[in-house]
């Protein structure tokens, strides 16, 4: 993301973050007016009850630059977070792979092969969750938000503790009194998501 102020009208940009939030935080620091252009920021990152995948407490995107994540999440812009709690529900089962292979184009077979290889490489560490789709869940949400459910909560990112740095601290029950700053998703209709994925891939060459 460029640190130059977008020329779009206020509240018109939907921004998708699939990795650490360093560049977005830098843009907000160098050009604070850029935040006002954003209608919604959709973040793939964090974890609620799932906790971490690179440390016992932290998800990768939050752990890489927790200070940037804290700046962005506390920026006051509308934020939707798609955490591991959701993406680990999106497992590519054999029937779902078969549906991709059955598509009458090159794309279906290619994506099925990529997903199968992805799963083989990750299975020793993550077991069945090696089949989970993470970044595509953001696009799935933008296309079909009705497939997802969540809660308006306060989210804070731990930046100090050596044990839990990068941890996504989600105030599920409103016990801290901190203001709501995110819509934190918790469930997804996995069947509907894979139907959408298969449909969209089927429209490609």
Q: Which of 23-27, 66-70, 124-128, 167-171 has the lowest mean pLDDT?
A: 124-128
**pLDDT of amino acid 42:** 98
Q: What percent of the chain has pLDDT over 70?
A: 91
Task: Confirm whether 134 is a catalytic residue.
Answer: yes
79 touches 40 (CB < 8 A): yes
- Angle 33-60-89 from CA coordinates, rounded to 5°: 105
CATH topology of domain 13-90+132-188: Inosine-uridine Nucleoside N-ribohydrolase; Chain A (3.90.245)
**pLDDT of amino acid 3:** 43
pLDDT in tens, 153-183: 999 999 999 999 999 999 999 999 999 999 9
Q: Are strands 182-188 and 148-157 parallel, antiparallel or unpaired?
A: antiparallel
Q: Does 60 or 127 have the greater pLDDT score?
A: 60
Structural domain spans, the chain: 13-90+132-188, 94-128
Q: Which of 60-64, 82-86, 111-115, 150-154 has the lowest mean pLDDT?
A: 111-115
Q: For the chain, state the CA radius of gyration.
A: 18
pLDDT range class, residue 2, cuts 50, 70, 90: very low
Cα separations in angstroms, 51 against 4, 77, 106: 35, 24, 37
pTM value? 0.89
pLDDT in tens, 74-110: 999 999 999 999 999 998 889 999 999 999 999 999 9
pLDDT range class, residue 10, cuts 50, 70, 90: confident
């Amino acid at each position: 993301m460029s640190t130059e102020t977008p020329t779009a009208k206020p509240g018109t940009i939907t921004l998708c973050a699939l990795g650490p939030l360093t560049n977005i935080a830098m843009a907000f620091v160098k050009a604070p007016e850029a935040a006002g252009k954003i209608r919604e920021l959709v973040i793939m990152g964090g974890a609620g009850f799932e906790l971490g995948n690179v440390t016992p407490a932290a998800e990768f995107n939050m752990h890489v630059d927790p200070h940037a994540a804290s700046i962005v999440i506390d920026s006051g812009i509308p934020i939707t977070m798609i955490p591991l709690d959701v993406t680990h529900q999106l497992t590519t089962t054999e029937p779902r792979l078969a549906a991709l292979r059955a598509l009458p184009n090159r794309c279906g077979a290619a994506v099925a092969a990529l997903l199968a290889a992805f799963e083989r490489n990750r299975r020793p560490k993550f077991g069945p969750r090696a089949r989970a789709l993470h970044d595509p869940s953001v696009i799935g949400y933008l296309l079909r938000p009705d497939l997802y459910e969540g809660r308006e909560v306060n989210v804070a990112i731990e930046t100090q503790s050596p044990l839990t740095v990068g941890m996504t601290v989600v105030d599920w029950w409103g016990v801290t009194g901190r203001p709501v700053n995110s819509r934190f998703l918790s469930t997804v209709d996995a069947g509907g998501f894979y139907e959408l994925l298969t449909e969209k891939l089927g429209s490609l060459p």
